[in-house]
Amino acid sequence: MPYLLPIGPWHPALDEPVIFKLEIAGSRIEKVEIELGFNHRGVEGWLPQLLPHQMLPPLSQLCGKCSYANTLVGAMALEKLAGLTPPSRVCYLRTVTAELERAVSHLTNCAKVLRMLGLNLLGGRLEEEAEGVRQLLAATGNRVYDTFNLLGGTMRALQLPLEFQSAVERLRKNIYESVNQIIDNRQLERRTTNIGLISPVAADEYNLVGPIARACDLPDDLRRSEPYGAYGELEFRVITQRSGSLFARIAVRLLESLESLNIVTQALLMMPEGGLNDQLLPPLFPPNTEASALVESPRGALFCYAATDEKGKLARLKLRPPTLVNLPALALGLLGQEVDDAAALLVSFDYCFACGER
């Protein structure tokens, strides 16, 4: 006889309060439902009450896992509204910080997946590597929440550039060894290759984005298809896997974290000279104007829409985080799976409900 297994609102597999309701028959998951609403703060409702220079800090504090991505996409949309063009040096600095945040996010998620599978030693090693990347992020002024971006520029340059570059290289070598050890782990591969499968056809039909889509052999990456910042001038690989399994999602994130550090190294070597914020921010935006921006956040395509009223005040700022787009993966990857695998599979989808509910 089927029974209901609730996971949440607080659970070791969850970073945020949310309830997953799993209907179990025998040992298999037959139905899954999600209950949201624990994280709603109404940020989009009160952002229009702020002045232009006050709008980025609230976006940075929506979430500690993708703080920089939220601020970056908001800055890009608002800069289009105001007619501001950030200097080339700023584009490179923003790219460096975005990739460091991506590496932290991916390594942290993979560490939690490994812990849910009982591989605590490997998970702990990845957590150490993620903390090392956070220490690099501290050179921007804050290791978790973004205090780096300004409209039209950045607040500061990276501190100690030569030491920073050598630290990136040392960390990249350490992470390379950890990633090789995990991907070559045959026990992990056997345990995760045939669970949580999402087919490329289903991923394409439901328009999944980010690492979940790339694990299904869909090369969906805005950094390549619609370059922004300095990405159009840098060389990098779009990481994909074919199986759409739990192992594929782990592999994509681990390899992307390495690729992120390769991008950081390139950007530091190619970074041009120039100012950080040499444009005057107007007190109001042009009236009756709208603009939008897209960035590839650690979880996929992050969209921002901004519009002004007839007086030039911000009338609307709307974010569409990738978590909302990727919710169908919940049913695609969980139905028919063993209940023992539920926690690891839920973590592997890497949902961010703080951004999703705002």
Cα separation, 245 vs 226, whole angstroms: 27
Mean pLDDT for 7-13 is 73
Examine the pLDDT at 193 and tell me if it is beyond 80: yes
Phi/psi for 231 (5° steps) reads -65, -30
Taking the CB of residue 102, how many other CB atoms lie within 10 A of it? Answer: 28
Q: What is the mean pLDDT of the chain?
A: 87
CA distances from 164 to 24, 30, 87, 135, 158 (A): 50, 50, 21, 10, 8
| Strand residue runs (E) in the chain | 3-7, 19-25, 28-35, 149-150, 153-154, 290-297, 300-308, 314-320
pLDDT of residue 160: 57
CATH number for the region 40-357 comes to 1.10.645.10
In whole angstroms, what is the distance from residue 231 CA to residue 240 CA?
18
Structural domain boundaries in the chain: 40-357
The mean pLDDT value for 338-352 works out to: 89
Residue 143 has pLDDT above 80, yes or no: no
CB atoms within 10 A of CB 300: 23
SS3 assignment, position 99: helix
11: tokens are 């659970």
Render pLDDT for 62-99 as a digit per residue (tens, 0 to 9).
787 788 998 999 999 999 988 888 889 999 999 999 99
State in Å, rounded, how far the first CA of the chain is from the last one.
38
**DSSP secondary-structure letter at 338?**
B
Strand 153-154 with 290-297, pairing: unpaired
Which of 125, 92, 126 shows the shortest CA–CA distance to 109? 126
Q: Which pLDDT score is estimated for 18?
A: 81
How confident is the model at residue 3, as a pLDDT? 83
pLDDT band per the 50, 70, 90 thresholds, residue 47: confident
d(CA 232, CA 28): 46
pTM beyond cutoff 0.85? yes
Is there a contact between 255 and 245 (Cβ–Cβ < 8 Å)? Answer: no
Give me the pLDDT at residue 101, please.
92
With a cut of 80, say whether residue 158 has pLDDT above it: no
Give the residue, 17 or 113, on which the prediction is more confident: 113
- Is residue 271 classed exposed, middle or buried when 0-12, 13-18 and 19+ CB atoms within 10 A define those classes? buried
Residue listed under structure tokens 């990481």? 239
pLDDT band at residue 159, thresholds of 50, 70 and 90?
low
* CA distance linking residue 140 with residue 92, whole number of Å: 13
Closest CA to 306 of 103, 133, 82, 106: 82
Whether the link from the prior residue into 161 is cis, omega within 30° of 0, is no
Residue 118 CB neighbour total at 10 angstroms: 10
- Whether residue 358 is predicted with pLDDT greater than 70 in this model: the reply is no
pLDDT of residue 98: 92
**pLDDT > 70: what percent of the chain?**
96
If one compares 55 and 306, the residue with the highest pLDDT of the two is: 306
Higher pLDDT, 166 or 260: 260
Contact 353, 36 (CB under 8 A): yes
The answer, yes or no, to whether residue 235 has pLDDT greater than 60, is yes
Q: Phi/psi at 30 (nearest 5 deg)?
A: -100, -25
Q: Say yes or no to pLDDT of 114 above 80.
A: yes
Task: Give the confidence band of 312 by pLDDT, cuts at 50, 70, 90.
Answer: confident
DSSP-derived 3-state class of residue 81: helix
- Looking at residue 161, what is its pLDDT? 63
276-293 average pLDDT score: 82
Rg (CA), the chain: 20
What letter represents residue 349's amino acid? F
Higher local confidence (pLDDT), 151 or 145? 151
Mean pLDDT for 8-35 is 82
Q: What angle do CA 334, 340, 346 make, to 5 degrees?
A: 40
- Which among 10, 81, 347 is positioned nearest to 195, based on CA atoms? 347
